[in-house]
Chain A
Amino acid sequence: MADAPETSATGKVRGLVRSPLDLGGGLFLLAIAIVGYIGAFNLPFGHMNSIGSGLLPKSVAVLVGVFGIGIALQGFLFDGDKLESWGIRGAVFVLGAVLVFALTIRTLGLAFAGPLCVIVSAMADRDTRPVELAIFSVVMTALCIGLFKFLLRLPIPIFPPGYGPF
């Protein structure tokens, strides 16, 4: 989670790659450009007086690639920052919770999807307290059901289809 320990006091690095952050960012853009170009590969350019569906995506993808390469080259030419380390634990549990919610909202309803979502995402933090979390997840879900289902009347399923009072 914290910066890598070998980061110097100024956060600068020396060597062939003078700014890993720029190199990484540039390559990231280049990857997006390649995916975009492949996605638009079969679309026609059209003519100038009736431009085809492929003109804009393809030319923009090429431009993204050009800027990506430019930014990556900057990484070799100018001093810059190191790549930041990723908070993998946070990403896995928070986004995992979102996926759990998406998978269970239709089949189990908010009454079950809610606590599941809260509990899974809470695991992203290391100092969770099980009892507190269990109670909190139920209370929070109840509040949401009250707010969204009864006060605002959104058509969100509360219980598994065919079960439950509403």
Chain B
Amino acid sequence: MYDLVSNLSLGLSVALSIKNLGLCFLGCLIGTLIGVLPGVGPIATITMLLPITFGLDPIGALIMLAGIYYGAQYGGSTTAILVNIPGEATAVVTTLDGHQMAKQGRAGVALGIAAIGSFIAGCVATVIIAALAAPLTKMALLFGPADYFSLMVLGLMFAVVLARGSVVKAIGVILVGILLSTVGTDLESGEERLTFGWSEISDGLDVAVVAMGMFGFAEILRNLETSQARDVVHAAIGNLLPNRKDFGQAAAPIARGTVLGSILGLLPGNGAVLGPFASYTLEKKLAKDGSRFGKGAIEGVAGPESANNAGAQTAFIPLLTLGIPPNAVMALMVGAMTIHGIVPGPQIMTKQPQLFWGMIASMWLGNLMLLIINLPLIGLWVRLLKVPYRLMFPSIVLLCCIGIYSINNSPTEVVMTAGFGVFGYALLKFGLEPAPLLLGFVLGKLMEEKLRQALVISRGSFKTFVDCQLWSGTCARPLSSGLLVLSLILVVIAVLPSIRRSRDQVFVDD
């Protein structure tokens, strides 16, 4: 407990410097500004804004990036409520009741309760991260290469279970991601793999290029087909601060959403995406009158928004303690950290405590700032959203181009991003969800590295991953074995018909 307080105060002393406070503020503001644009989710926002952190020192850059991330999340909720276009999967739930509230002239209350719920969830999640970081980091140091490999297998299996639609398709798409991760020079032998003699990709594909193409450009193409469906709320925004009755209705959903989101966000393999759906389903079940949901129930905004923000934050835990990104956004964070010379993993906390705790403290500050900047700025966001889409999307295209070009000052990467745009659009058109691909892409490289290390240590025996003898009850690698067994159970559960049905319901229950 004493450690927790002293660590957090160290973090606050870093995060509260005028410069870092300013960077956090700027990150939240610009992140919200870009995140508000319809169809631009956190992944596209972070990729676009990555270059603006290049001139900063690592601590400042990470604080700003975290701010951009929260800003993008909150901007997405704003768009979901006001325009009924979710910037990303997790905001889908918010559109259900949030947009209905907006149509009834209660947009202000919906935005207000989303901000307040997110803030409360963010506070709790920050404490959870601070409390879990030290013990998990100690545990991570016990992990050998085989355990890491098995943990990543488990993460990918979670991603399969949590992906929408067919399990077979999700696995296929993840494998494509792993295949893409092998493009470039092999680190051990120096041979070029899958480059087809093209020297521009001999360093491998940049995660920002893949992400921007598949989530930025492909999303614009999809939105262009449905641009008619956009309806910016014309009703008055109304009061921003919820009244006492609203608070009474929203308090319990916020608390439950925070708990659900925090726990799910910890899971490897994009557990955070499940938070809002789970929270919405739970609130609907618990409500005295479930039929109010979908017609502007405040619980349907408060719960999922809190779960979303809590999960968005606890998703940092696997990244910061184990060095394993649990979802696509965190994968981008790895890319960003690498650019600044930081290798995510258990060693950050011991070797760079200022950076580690400074970032965690800035998470809390970022949430506070979102609350402060967004409530007065909502009018501005509404005006921004009234810009017609025929002008909005060319601006988004230009911003994407400048962002990608600036990462390495490379026109070739801009062309490659366009290529991945086509690829992502094709995946969507063939009913294949692109989100698991990015996770496979990021984990693929790490997995191959750990697989090789594990096999070198075991002198080529695959038994090292499940070195257990059932008859004598001894287990040389209990961690790895346990994780693999868990992965297997997950797959079996995912294909069981009864579970499948209820899983589909969670997603389709819109």
Contacts and interface: CB of A to CB of B under 8 A. Distances in A.
Contacts of B55: 152-153
B172 A68 contact: yes
A140 B398 contact: yes
Interface string A101-114: 11101100010011
Given A40-B193, A53-B193, A94-B217, A106 B411 contact: yes
A137 to B, nearest CB: 7
Interface string B445-460: 0001001100110011
Given A57-B194, A60-B179, A124 B452 contact: no
Nearest to A129: B390
B221 interface: yes
Contacts of B191: 43, 53
Nearest to B227: A125
Interface stretch (B262-270, B291-299, B315-323, B416-424): B416-424
Contact of A53 (B188, B196, B418): B188
B393 interface: yes
Interface in B430-475: 430-432, 448, 451-452, 455-456, 459-462
A84 B460 contact: no
B179 A98 contact: no
Interface stretch (B236-244, B367-375, B402-410, B476-484): B402-410
A17 interface: no
Interface string A128-165: 11001100110011001000100011111000000000
Contacts of A153: 55
Contact of B397 (A83, A87, A121): A121
Contact of A67 (B172, B397, B415): B172
A44 B272 CA distance: 39
Most buried by A among B220, B221, B430: B430
A121 B194 contact: no
Contacts of A113: 401
Given A53-B189, A94-B220, A101-B414, A1 B225 contact: yes
Interface of A is mostly: helix
B193 A43 contact: yes
Nearest to B391: A136
A124 B396 CA distance: 13
Contacts of A54: 193
B455 A32 contact: no
A121 B393 contact: yes
B278 interface: no
B391 A57 contact: no
A91 interface: yes
B195 A39 contact: yes
Contacts of A86: 425, 429
A106 B409 CA distance: 9
Interface residues of B, number: 68
A54 to B, nearest CB: 8
B460 A49 contact: yes
A94 B224 CA distance: 10
B193 A119 contact: no
Contacts of B389: 125
B186 interface: yes
Given A32-B176, A39-B196, A40-B182, A118 B394 contact: yes
Given A53-B186, A74-B168, A125 B431 contact: no
A152 B189 CA distance: 40
A122 B391 contact: yes
Interface in B170-211: 171-172, 175-176, 178-179, 182-183, 186, 188-189, 191, 193-196
15 contacts: A25-B431, A28-B432, A47-B460, A51-B452, A53-B189, A60-B175, A94-B393, A98-B401, A102-B415, A102-B418, A106-B411, A110-B402, A122-B393, A124-B393, A152-B52
The 8 residue pairs across chains A and B that have the minimum distance between CB atoms:
A49-B460, A48-B460, A39-B194, A67-B172, A25-B430, A53-B186, A102-B414, A90-B224
Given A87-B224, A154-B406, 11 more contacts: A25-B169, A25-B430, A36-B179, A90-B221, A90-B224, A101-B401, A102-B405, A110-B402, A125-B224, A128-B390, A154-B51
Interface of A: 1, 21-22, 24-25, 28-29, 32-33, 36, 39-40, 43, 47-54, 56-57, 60-61, 63-64, 67-68, 70-71, 74, 81, 83-84, 86-87, 90-91, 94-95, 97-99, 101-103, 105-106, 110, 113-114, 117-119, 121-122, 124-125, 127-129, 132-133, 136-137, 140-141, 144, 148, 152-156
